[in-house]
Structure 1
Amino acid sequence: MKSTNGLALKRGQTQKPVSQTGGGSKKGIAGKLILYFLLTIAAVMQLFPLVWLLLFSLKNNQEIFNLPPLALPEEIRWNNYVKVWTSGNIDVYFVNSIVVTLVSVVLTILLASFATFALTRMRWKLQPLVLGLFMVGLMIPLHSTLIPLFILFQALGLIDNLWSIILSYTAFNLPITIMILLGFYYALPREIEEAAIVDGCSVNRMFIRIILPMTSSVMVTAAIINMIYNWNEFVFVNTFISSDTLKTLTVGVQNFVGQYSTDWGAIGATLMISILPILLAFLIMSDRIVEGIAAGSVKG
């Protein structure tokens, strides 16, 4: 009897964790389903403005104001896109936006990488002061600098010149870009630099061939943030640029706003065209971020 009870007890002990494991797995599945449901709702909410803007760009003024937001137009008007691309100078604005954005992003990332390397991997007397000055730049309101910048660019002959926009974007994006890079640079192991120096590598060569490849993931992240800001910026372009051939998309959309009438369908088409490059760039670079983080990790 004792042996039978012992076997029964052992069986009970072995069966108890099985029931707990089954309950835990059910709870885990339920939790995943809830998480996926919430993520699906969030994704639908994020896509709703894009779907609404696409339908908005395919309607005329009467349909925009009389039909529900998600209602299909009576006639799909792709000619809105043809109109803004041919007669609205959107092709010129589009090229200007690409040039200004790419040049500003490259300059900002390079200068921020140089500054962050000097602030985190070198020792010099004014290092804390310079880092503090860069961080103070985060607290300067953009609008408070418009008049001083206008006077400065006017003296340099850069008013109505794309370089006034590029320099402004680079200067204002430097502090936030350096702040993004700081944490990553502080985490880099110094053993790699010491080994490179022992092998006879100079500081410049070490920065280009070792540090920059290791920080590619965080540079891509900073580039996306800079790209979104530069592409959507309005105030600097509207202040420093007056020629129609040098305007960007954000300012060029005003061409379809008249004194007595406004072509809302053309405005929607322009906004849709301006959104597509950012969406494509983010979809392409988002995978690069994950790959860069995995490749840039240091294994012991």
Structure 2
Amino acid sequence: MIQGAAGQLRSGPSRSGGRSASKLGYTLLYVVLIGVAVFQLFPLVWLLLFSLKNNQEVFDLPPLSLPMNPRWENYEKVWSAGNISVYFLNSVWITVVATVLTIMLGSLVTFAITRMKWKGSSFVLGLFMVAMMIPVHSTLIPLFSLFNKAGLTDHPVSLILSYVAFNMPITIMILLGFYYTLPREVEEAAVMDGCSVHRVFFRIVLPMTGSVLATTAIINMIYNWNEFIFVNTFISSDMFKTLTVGVQNFIGQYTTDWGAIGATLMISILPILLMFLFLSDRIVEGIAAGSVKG
């Protein structure tokens, strides 16, 4: 009994010391994470204050200083007089159409590669993976020549086709790991019941991949929404421009409306930021679901 009591006395301080060390570690971790979060939010706070200033305040006041008179009219001006409403709607529908097409085509390709036996499947998969290494800038001149001959320059179709082509490899790569984890028994049972290949894909496989489809949708939407090079190269009419290019309307030869530029950038950031905040858990869920095979 004396030895047992001595053992308890020896184990008591060590346990309390371990708990204290654990609490200290968690406290330091939270402090570091809060610091990183503040550092990440700094550009957004700066941009918000920037968008509420005039040109004189932008250059005379410190970056994080409050404007003397917040100019909320900058947002009204860019939305109405700056044609930003048209650019915003163009960004929305082009992003949605390109994302839906990429997800559907990527799902069909991944289903064919992982579930069907046919010659050349590995070769086709290799072509998609090699396409990830092609720089975007090296394709601008060939694509412009191709779209010009096809009569698609200055048309949204050129943007949609470019977005789908360049997002397909990363979409297939994300879907591939998840498709390998899907149980084949469900599909085999459906085939035994007389289900066709098309019904197997649309009624069984596609609903089972909801989490990873949300992940690929968010990644595609972020890329399509923020894309600048293709819009600036292929589109010249104001009626088809998107937000990323529309900000150039406030840059003149002799004067530049910096407050309007800041308001335009804030308008372009808010939709994608809100979508990411609400759906960020689905990104982690989808990536984690497809990260382990078997």
Contact 2:113 2:121 in 1 (8 A): yes
What is the identity, as a one-letter code, of the residue corresponding to 2:88? F
1:259 aligns with 2:250: no
RMSD: 1.9
In the alignment, the residues of structure 1 paired with residue 159 and residue 168 of structure 2 have an alpha-carbon distance, to the nearest angstrom, of: 14
Q: Which residue of 2 aligns with 1:92?
A: 86
1:191 aligns with 2:185: yes
What is the identity, as a one-letter code, of the residue corresponding to 1:157? G
Q: CA deviation at 1:49?
A: 0.5
Higher mean Cα deviation, 108-117 or 194-203? 194-203
Q: Which residue of 1 aligns with 2:119?
A: 125
What is the identity, as a one-letter code, of the residue corresponding to 1:228? I
Higher mean Cα deviation, 196-205 or 26-35? 196-205
**Compared CA separation, residues 130 and 290, structure 1 to 2 (3 A):** closer
What is the identity, as a one-letter code, of the residue corresponding to 1:152? L
Q: Which residue of 1 aligns with 2:265?
A: 271
Please give the per-residue CA displacement for 1:239-275, whole angstroms capped at 9, x wherever unaligned: 1111111100111100000000100000000000000
In the alignment, the residues of structure 1 paired with residue 219 and residue 287 of structure 2 have an alpha-carbon distance, to the nearest angstrom, of: 17
Q: Which residue of 2 aligns with 1:27?
A: 21
The answer for unaligned runs of 5 or more in structure 2 is none
What is the identity, as a one-letter code, of the residue corresponding to 1:133? L
**Compared CA separation, residues 209 and 67, structure 1 to 2 (3 A):** same
Q: CA deviation at 1:286?
A: 1.9
What is the identity, as a one-letter code, of the residue corresponding to 1:39? L
Contact 1:217 1:290 in 2 (8 A): no
In the alignment, the residues of structure 1 paired with residue 179 and residue 53 of structure 2 have an alpha-carbon distance, to the nearest angstrom, of: 50
In the alignment, the residues of structure 2 paired with residue 165 and residue 289 of structure 1 have an alpha-carbon distance, to the nearest angstrom, of: 25
Q: What number of residue pairs does the alignment pair up?
A: 291
The answer for unaligned runs of 5 or more in structure 1 is 1-6
Higher mean Cα deviation, 87-96 or 146-155? 146-155
Q: Which residue of 2 aligns with 1:4?
A: none
In the alignment, the residues of structure 1 paired with residue 194 and residue 27 of structure 2 have an alpha-carbon distance, to the nearest angstrom, of: 56
Contact 2:87 2:241 in 1 (8 A): yes
Q: CA deviation at 1:193?
A: 2.0
Q: Which residue of 2 aligns with 1:178?
A: 172
Q: CA deviation at 1:201?
A: 2.5
1:129-148 superposed matches below 5 A: 129-148=123-142
Contact 1:241 1:247 in 2 (8 A): yes
Q: Which has the larger radius of gyration?
A: 1
In the alignment, the residues of structure 2 paired with residue 20 and residue 113 of structure 1 have an alpha-carbon distance, to the nearest angstrom, of: 55
1:223 aligns with 2:214: no
Higher mean Cα deviation, 52-61 or 26-35? 26-35
Q: CA deviation at 1:10?
A: 1.3
Q: CA deviation at 1:35?
A: 0.9
1:107 aligns with 2:101: yes
Contact 1:84 1:266 in 2 (8 A): yes
Please give the per-residue CA displacement for 1:66-90, whole angstroms capped at 9, x wherever unaligned: 1111100010000110110110000
Q: Which residue of 1 aligns with 2:149?
A: 155
Q: Which residue of 2 aligns with 1:232?
A: 226
In the alignment, the residues of structure 1 paired with residue 9 and residue 121 of structure 2 have an alpha-carbon distance, to the nearest angstrom, of: 65
Q: CA deviation at 1:30?
A: 1.0
Please give the per-residue CA displacement for 1:128-175, whole angstroms capped at 9, x wherever unaligned: 110011111111111111122112212221111111101110011101
Higher mean Cα deviation, 65-74 or 142-151? 142-151
Higher mean Cα deviation, 111-120 or 192-201? 192-201
- State the TM-score, normalized to the length of structure 1: 0.92
Secondary structure at the counterpart of residue 139 of structure 1 = coil
Secondary structure at the counterpart of residue 132 of structure 2 = helix
**Compared CA separation, residues 205 and 18, structure 1 to 2 (3 A):** farther
In the alignment, the residues of structure 2 paired with residue 295 and residue 199 of structure 1 have an alpha-carbon distance, to the nearest angstrom, of: 28
Q: CA deviation at 1:108?
A: 0.5
* Aligned with 1:249 (options 233, 239, 243): 243
- State the TM-score, normalized to the length of structure 2: 0.94
In the alignment, the residues of structure 2 paired with residue 16 and residue 119 of structure 1 have an alpha-carbon distance, to the nearest angstrom, of: 61
Contact 1:253 1:270 in 2 (8 A): yes
Q: Which residue of 2 aligns with 1:71?
A: 65
